[in-house]
């Protein structure tokens, strides 16, 4: 089939594939449709959707511009241009395109949501009342859409309203249980509230759908670091007790005394392990440990905890080290502080790469 009929059929098939998020399969069909009808605004809009789904933002921008050239009054083409510019971090231009889409179609929900999304894209900017009003207006116009509730939640969270944000994320998941952004953000809020079990469940579900290192994987690693950050106090207290014991006895603490302190140190770690298992059952702990492998900031955090723990054990188990007890404490405590500081920097860098 050729001509307009062939182009229409290919566009219809490609649109069906786009609706199933099968972007790579839709792209050649759209290329064929455009080869037959290069003036089709609908085909260019579909190509912009496809490129955006493939994270080809320059391609999405080109397709959106072609759609606008073919039909300047089509609000959807302007929204697609705004999305492409948003993906390329060209926020000023994205905001202008979003405003034009609202001028052409002021009662369409996603135009308002898109305005809030652009405001959210700059983590350094102050989210104001305008972004909140845009998000809530979008939700009012499209209450059946999970994305509308999700964006209101994101804005509320940036405005330091965690209760409202949590309610919005739950509402979004009620409308679309597979909405990964809402699942991830709700889990992060639950982690801050201390509900590690529910948070790990959510992060594991998001990580299962991650392509490479995504937000779910990242947040599982952050949870592992938070657990290690609590464990570092055990290692520091153990180190100080070992140091005071050695100094208080001029390095001549009896083996029974040393043995009791070593046993207490082991008991503290055993209690910490029990606490972790109560917070996060083994079924959820396994994916967390699996994602933690190969993570630089988890490894640095583990190194920091290990430094003080091993130093405490060495001071208690190797009497000759007593004469250098203060040096051992200073070196190991400094190593722990440096390791956790470096871990925070590496984590921030990885988080920025995910934005």
The verdict on residue 152 lying in a domain is no
Last residue of one domain, picked from the residues 27, 61, 90: 90
Number of H helices, E strands in the chain: 17, 0
Work out the angle at residue 267's Cα, subtended by the Cα atoms of residues 266 and 272, and round it to the nearest 5 degrees.
100
Q: How far apart are the first and last CA of the chain?
A: 43
Q: Cα–Cα distance between 216 and 220 in angstroms, integer? A: 6
Contact 312, 265 (CB under 8 A): yes
Cβ neighbours, 10 Å, residue 334? 11
Question: Max Cα separation, the chain?
Answer: 95
pLDDT in tens, 264-275: 888 988 998 888
The verdict on residue 188 lying in a domain is no
DSSP-assigned letter for residue 127: P
pTM, 2 dp: 0.74
The verdict on residue 20 lying in a domain is yes
Structurally, the chain folds into a number of domains equal to 2
The verdict on residue 200 lying in a domain is no
Q: How confident is the model at residue 3 (pLDDT cuts 50, 70, 90)?
A: very low
Last residue of one domain, picked from the residues 90, 112, 134: 90
Work out the angle at residue 256's Cα, subtended by the Cα atoms of residues 251 and 258, and round it to the nearest 5 degrees.
45
The verdict on residue 189 lying in a domain is no
The verdict on residue 247 lying in a domain is yes
Within 8 A by CB and 6+ apart from 107, the residues are 141
Q: How confident is the model at residue 230 (pLDDT cuts 50, 70, 90)?
A: confident
State the residue range of the domain holding 22.
1-90
Rounded to the nearest integer, the mean pLDDT of the chain is 87
- Which of 122-131, 185-194, 244-253 has the lowest average pLDDT? 244-253
Q: So what's the pLDDT on residue 81?
A: 97
Q: Which residue has the tokens 């670091």?
A: 225
Contact 26, 18 (CB under 8 A): yes
Last residue of one domain, picked from the residues 90, 105, 140: 90
CB-based burial label for 280 (10 Å; 0-12, 13-18, 19+): buried
CATH at 82: 1.25.40.10
Among residues 71, 5, 13, 73, the alpha carbon closest in space to that of 44 is found at: 71
Q: So what's the pLDDT on residue 88?
A: 94
pLDDT in tens, 103-134: 999 999 999 999 999 999 877 677 788 899 99
The verdict on residue 330 lying in a domain is yes
The verdict on residue 288 lying in a domain is yes
């Amino acid at each position: 089939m050729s001509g307009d009929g062939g182009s229409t059929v290919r566009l219809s098939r490609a649109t069906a594939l786009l609706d199933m998020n099968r972007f790579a399969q839709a792209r050649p069909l759209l290329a064929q449709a455009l080869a037959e009808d290069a003036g089709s605004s609908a085909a260019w809009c579909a190509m912009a959707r496809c490129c955006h789904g493939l994270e080809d933002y320059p391609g999405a921008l080109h397709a959106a511009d072609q759609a606008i050239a073919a039909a300047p009054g089509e609000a959807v083409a302007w929204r697609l241009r705004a999305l492409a510019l948003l993906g390329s971090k060209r926020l000023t231009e994205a905001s202008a395109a979003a405003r034009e889409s609202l001028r052409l179609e002021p009662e369409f929900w996603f135009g308002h949501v898109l305005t809030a999304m652009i405001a959210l894209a700059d983590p350094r900017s102050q989210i104001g009342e305008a972004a909140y009003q845009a998000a809530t207006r979008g939700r009012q116009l499209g209450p059946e859409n999970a994305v509308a509730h999700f964006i209101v939640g994101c804005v509320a969270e940036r405005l330091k309203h965690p209760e409202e944000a949590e309610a919005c994320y739950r509402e979004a998941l009620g409308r679309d249980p597979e909405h990964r952004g809402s699942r991830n953000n709700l889990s992060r809020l639950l982690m801050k509230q201390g509900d590690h079990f529910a948070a790990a469940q959510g992060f594991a579900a998001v990580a299962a759908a991650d392509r490479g290192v995504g937000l779910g994987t990242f947040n599982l690693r952050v949870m592992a670091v938070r657990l290690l950050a609590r464990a570092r106090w055990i290692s520091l207290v153990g180190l100080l007790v070992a140091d005071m014991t050695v100094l208080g006895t001029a390095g001549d603490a009896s083996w029974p005394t040393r043995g009791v302190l070593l046993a207490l140190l082991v008991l503290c770690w055993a209690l910490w392990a029990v606490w972790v298992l109560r917070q996060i059952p083994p079924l959820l702990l396994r994916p967390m440990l699996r994602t933690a492998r190969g993570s630089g900031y988890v490894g640095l955090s583990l190194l920091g905890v290990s430094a003080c723990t091993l130093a405490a054990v060495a001071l208690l188990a190797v009497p000759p080290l007593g004469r250098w007890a203060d040096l051992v404490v200073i070196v190991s405590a400094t190593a722990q502080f440096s390791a956790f500081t470096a871990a925070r920097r590496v984590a921030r860098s990885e988080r920025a790469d995910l934005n």
